Amino acid sequence: MKNETLHNQEDIIKMLDSLLRPAEPFWNEFYANREKDVPFFENVPDENLVSYIQKKRVSKGKVLELGCGPGRNAIYLANEGFDVTAVDLSIEGINWAKERALAKGVEIEFICDSIFNLEVQNEFDFVYDSGCLHHIPPHRRVNYVDLIKNALKSDGYFGLTCFAAGDLDERNGSEITDWDVYRGWSLQGGLAYSEEKLREIFKGFEVIEIRKMEQI
């Protein structure tokens, strides 16, 4: 008989993970069709990320990108002289990112794994996430914040792009509560975050800027 006794916090996390849709097969299928009309399939970096670099808010150094997908932001950062490590759960996404990096002639350390399996110890100057947080279930959020804190140097920076609450386009996130995720066992395409909620989640950080992404 299968042992389904919960002994500790890790067992609870594993149980909740197993009751939600497995992320890896979903993202492999998602990235397998490169012809889909998806904005972040274009090999163009995020507007806000470019602004950080142009305004010199982030200096050259080591960068960790969480959920790099096809690699557009990692490639931009490598082109700007950063030492980039980029992580994604999807082998399809990683393979696409590697092809793009090779075509651009930049070196990036790509890792195909869950971000929660990373072993880091305050070694990065900058951690960046474009679209990873809003696909992370609430019970993993504490692990996510701990990962960022463990990855960053004491004077490091964290940048984030996520779905924003109040956006009328339903493709840009669902405004369900954390409890609703488990009532329906679904993130409903990704969780949208209000400024208030982001400030609560990252209350241990000094906030420099929270804004909507500008159209370019």
pLDDT tens track for 121-147 = 999 999 999 999 999 999 999 999 999
Q: What is the mean pLDDT of residues 92-110?
A: 98
b/e map of 85-104 (b: 16 or more CB within 10 Å)? bbbbbbebbbbbbbebbeee
Query: Which residues are CB-contacts of 178 (< 8 A; sequence separation ≥ 6)?
Result: 138
What is the structure's pLDDT at 56? 87
Cβ pair 33, 92 in contact under 8 A: no
Provide the pLDDT for residue 162.
95
Strands 62-66 and 124-130: parallel
Q: pLDDT of 37-75, one tens digit each?
A: 888 888 899 999 999 999 988 888 999 999 999 999 999
Cα(108)–Cα(101) distance, integer angstroms: 7
pLDDT category of residue 90 using cuts at 50, 70 and 90: very high
Query: Band of the pLDDT at 169, cuts 50, 70, 90?
Result: low
Cα–Cα distance measured from residue 154 to residue 34, given in angstroms and rounded to the nearest whole number: 39
pLDDT at residue 216 greater than cutoff 70 = no
Mean pLDDT score, 89-115: 98
Give the chain's length: 216
Question: What CATH architecture is 9-33+46-201?
Answer: 3-Layer(aba) Sandwich (3.40)
Three-class HEC string of the chain: CCCCCCCCHHHHHHHHHHHCCCHHHHHHHHHHCCCCCCHHHCCCCCHHHHHHHHCCCCCCCEEEEECCCCCHHHHHHHHCCCEEEEEECCHHHHHHHHHHHHHHCCCCEEEECCHHHCCCCCCEEEEEEECCHHHCCHHHHHHHHHHHHHHEEEEEEEEEECCECCCCCHHHCECCCHHHHHHHCCCCCCECECHHHHHHHCCCCCCCCCCCCCCC
User: In this prediction, what percent of the chain has a pLDDT beyond 90?
Assistant: 84
In whole angstroms, what is the distance from residue 78 CA to residue 73 CA?
9
Q: Across the chain, what does the average pLDDT equal?
A: 93
* Orientation of helix 47-54 relative to helix 72-79, angle to 10°: 20
Residue pLDDT, tens place only, 7-32: 999 999 999 999 999 999 999 999 99
Residue 97 token pair: 């990112």
| Residue spans per domain, the chain | 9-33+46-201
* 69/15 Cα distance (integer angstroms): 26
So what's the pLDDT on residue 2?
Answer: 73
